[in-house]
Amino acid sequence: METFKKLKDYFWPYKRFFLLSLLFLFLLTVITVIYPIILQQTIDSVVFKNRYELIPYISGVFLFLMIIKGFATFYHQYLGDLFGITAVYKLRDGLYHKLQKLSFSYYDNAKTGDIMSRLTADVEGFRFFLSFGFAELLRIILLITISLGVMFYFSVPLALVTMAAMPFLTIVVFQFDKRVHPAFRKIRKSFGKLNTRVQENISGMHTVKSLSREDFEIDRFSHSNNDYKQNYLNTSFIWSKYFPLMEFIGNFCAVALLAYGGFLVINDKLSLGALVAFFSLVWYIVGPLMNLGFVINQFSQAKASAERLLEILEAKENIVETKQAINQPIQGHVTFKNVTLTYATDNDPALKDISFNVTPGKSIGLIGSTGAGKTSITQLITRFYEPDTGEVLIDQIPVSGFQLKTLRQAIGFVLQEPFLFSATIRENIAYGDPNASEEQIIDAAKRSQAHDFIMNMPNRYNTMLGERGMGLSGGQKQRIAIARAICINPKILVLDDATSAVDMETEFKIQQALREVMKGRTSFIIAHRISSLKHADEILVLEGGRVIERGTHEFLINNKGAYQRIYEIQYQDKDEIMKRPHA
């Protein structure tokens, strides 16, 4: 209950839907139980007493009640559903807002698939419980209580005989639920495995075909396929074991009713009409009882779902804007003072004692092998993470002193793998500034060498990208990503390995574009290729989170260090090629 209490804000404001729905539920349950009583009256008062004139009244009352029941049924269901969908509507908005605010360190440890399943399956589980589960539990209790009441009113001994088998039914129901749910979980799990198997196979089809491993793959697939089938069958065997048994117990109650009830009627201790009414009432008890296990299980599942949702809603926001945060235009003076950064407590520091100072408009090159800490530096500037010790300053103010929007709008990011959204090229370029004018967008595209190929596409700037859109080459995507960064006219530009995935010629073009773009902006260039960062005002060579060498290109190529080594490999043939006289 504690869990649900924490989520109260999302559903309690709509309690009126729920309470009204309950009111209608009560009404409709009462009317349901009236049906067998009408049957009994028809038989006992009309038929046996030959009072046919009562029929119109009985029919009239019945019709009236049924109409009320119709309305009650409608409103009970509709309001109950409305309660659930309104609550999850608010909940989804809340979750989305929260997810937007969670910092990079949260996403480092979270898997998209896992968050997605919380946003879909768990939200749905929670809704189902609000809309249906809780009310259903009440309905079962109500229906059973009222039906039992009527039965005992008609005949106490008969009610006792009829109900004798109920405890057994309850036991079977709970046994069944205990066994069937783990079995269902196994089905889902094996389905997930089968899904992964197929997904991998298709994504890796090139590899499969190259190694002609089709038969091997079919074999592996049939293994998973069979596993799924077996799990499904096991569940249906549980079903076949318990479900007919429940039905049999219910039927047995009816037979007991017939035997003892018939005996009572023969001995004139019970009216025939009451006996007939009993036959309906029995199923009002047996039916809900068979469902009880399901509903209770629903409750525990909804609780688990709610807990998983709370985990998101209560996740710590590591990066919080302070109240005093300022909104002052950024010039682009970046300073690191003895910065150390650790991503997770047990890990080795990703950055150790990093210091540098870049005045506005200057550029810094970062080079080093994977994991050396290049990207970490840039992510501290945007305050995606916060340093353990040391200071990250922009214009001599700690980055945490700026409003997040002010800070990040001043920094243009281009990543190695450009992520573009399912929107038009225009909207992708204007992603950071949805109000950008047509001129700004085209200008950004021109400066990133993207304008020409965009104009060659059938729909030009309206070309759709993403799942529904055109396939672009890696170089084209990268140029759009660069245009997107330029479009916000940032004071600071971060190029994180932006050109490593494109071919030489494209890189050449992009490099030229970038050099133009970098003018007047503080730039951070992360690259593996010397050519990309050679012109930086200062180059930091990183290894294991430390700066092992720093200086200008001219200095570093003769410093007999790592930089020189890399340079020599990449340019070993340069002299030979360049010295050749032009033909």
User: Within 417-456, which residues bind another protein (CB under 8 A)?
Assistant: 419, 421-424, 427, 431-432, 434
Residue 63 found at the interface with another protein (CB under 8 A): yes
CA distance 206 to 195: 19
Which of the residues 509 through 528 are near another protein (CB under 8 A)? 511-512, 528
What is the footprint of another protein within residues 278-337 (CB under 8 A)? Answer: 279
Strand partners, 412: 493
Contacting range for another protein; rule: CB under 8 A; set: 43-51, 291-299, 453-461, 517-525: 43-51
What does the alpha-carbon distance between residue 408 and residue 583 come to, in Å, rounded to a whole number? 51
Q: Using CB under 8 A, which residues numbered 236 to 255 contact another protein?
A: 236-237, 239-241, 243-245, 247-248, 251-252, 254-255
- Structure token digits, residue 579: 């010295």
CB of 8 to another protein, least distance (A): 20
Please say which residue, 170 or 201, places its beta carbon nearer to another protein: 201
Shortest distance, CB of residue 129 to another protein, whole angstroms?
16
Pick from 78, 128, 152, 294 the residue near another protein by CB under 8 A: 78
Task: Let me know how many helices (H) and strands (E) the chain has, helices first.
Answer: 24, 10
CB of 388 to another protein, least distance (A): 21
- Regarding 53 and contact with another protein (CB under 8 A), the answer is no
- Going edge to edge, which strands form the sheet with 363-367? 411-414, 492-496, 522-526, 363-367, 538-543, 546-551
Residues in binding contact with another protein, number by CB under 8 A:
158
- Distance of closest approach, residue 400 Cβ to another protein, in angstroms: 15
Give the footprint of another protein on residues 146-175 (CB under 8 A): none
Locate 68 and state its tokens: 């009320």
Supply angle C-alpha 128, 307, 130, rounded to 5. 20
**Please, which residue, 181 or 337, has the CB nearer to another protein?**
181
50: left (phi over 0), alpha (psi -120 to 50) or beta: left
Cβ atoms of 566 and 579 closer than 8 Å: no
Q: What is the contact mask toward another protein in residues 180 to 209, using x (rule: CB under 8 A)? A: -----------x--xxx-xxxxxxxxxxxx
Residue of 116, 141, 320, 455 that binds another protein (CB under 8 A): 116
- Shortest Cβ 233–another protein spacing (Å): 6
Q: Binding to another protein by residue 388, rule CB under 8 A?
A: no
* Binding of another protein by 5 (CB under 8 A): no
Residues 358 to 377 in contact with another protein, rule: CB under 8 A: 369-371
What minimum distance in Å lies between the beta carbon of 303 and another protein?
23
Among the listed residues 77, 175, 400, 440, the single contact to another protein using CB under 8 A: 77
CA atoms within 13 A on the CB side of 324: 5
Nearer to another protein, 242 or 336 (CB): 242
Residue 309's nearest CA partner among 87, 26, 468, 486 is: 87
What is the closest distance, in whole angstroms, from the C-beta atom of residue 49 to another protein in the complex?
A: 11
CA 323 centroid distance within chain: 31
DSSP state of 328: -
Torsion of CA 255, 259, 260, 265, to 10 degrees: 120
Candidates 46, 310, 325, 457; binder of another protein (CB under 8 A) is: 46
Q: 82 to 111, contacts with another protein by CB under 8 A?
A: 82, 85-86, 89, 92-93, 96-97, 99-101, 103-104, 107
SS3 labels along 431-461: CCCCCCCHHHHHHHHHHCCCHHHHHCCCCHH
For 60, other C-beta atoms within 10 Å of its C-beta total: 10
Contacts (Cβ under 8 Å, ≥6 apart) of 275 = 257, 261, 262, 264, 265
**338 phi/psi in degrees, rounded to 5:** 45, 55
Cβ-based nearer residue to another protein, 1 or 569: 569
Tokens of 274: 């009451």
User: What are the structure tokens assigned to 511, written together?
Assistant: 């490099």
In the window 552-571, what residues touch another protein (CB under 8 A)? 562, 566, 569-571
Counting contacts by CB under 8 A, is residue 56 touching another protein?
yes
Collect all residues with Cβ–Cβ distance below 8 Å to 46 and sequence separation of at least 6. 52, 54, 55, 58
- Which CB sits closer to another protein, 421 or 555? 421
Closest distance to another protein from the beta carbon of 175 (Å): 16
Four-CA torsion 41, 42, 48, 50, nearest 10 degrees: 120
Is there a contact between 160 and 260 (Cβ–Cβ < 8 Å)?
no
Which of 13, 16, 19, 120 binds another protein (CB under 8 A)? It is 120
The answer to the question of residue 583 lying near another protein (CB under 8 A) is yes
Of 401-420, binders to another protein (CB under 8 A) are: 404-405, 408-409, 411, 413, 415, 419
Q: Which one-letter amino acid corresponds to residue 513?
A: A
For tokens 């898997």, what's the residue? 111
Residue with tokens 């050396």: 372
Residues from 462 through 481 that contact another protein (CB under 8 A): 464, 466-468, 473, 475
Contact with another protein (CB under 8 A) among 4, 26, 62, 343:
62
Q: Choose which of 156, 171, 218, 326 interacts with another protein (CB under 8 A).
A: 218
Q: Which amino acid is at 174?
A: F
Among 259, 326, 344, 455, binds another protein (CB under 8 A): 259
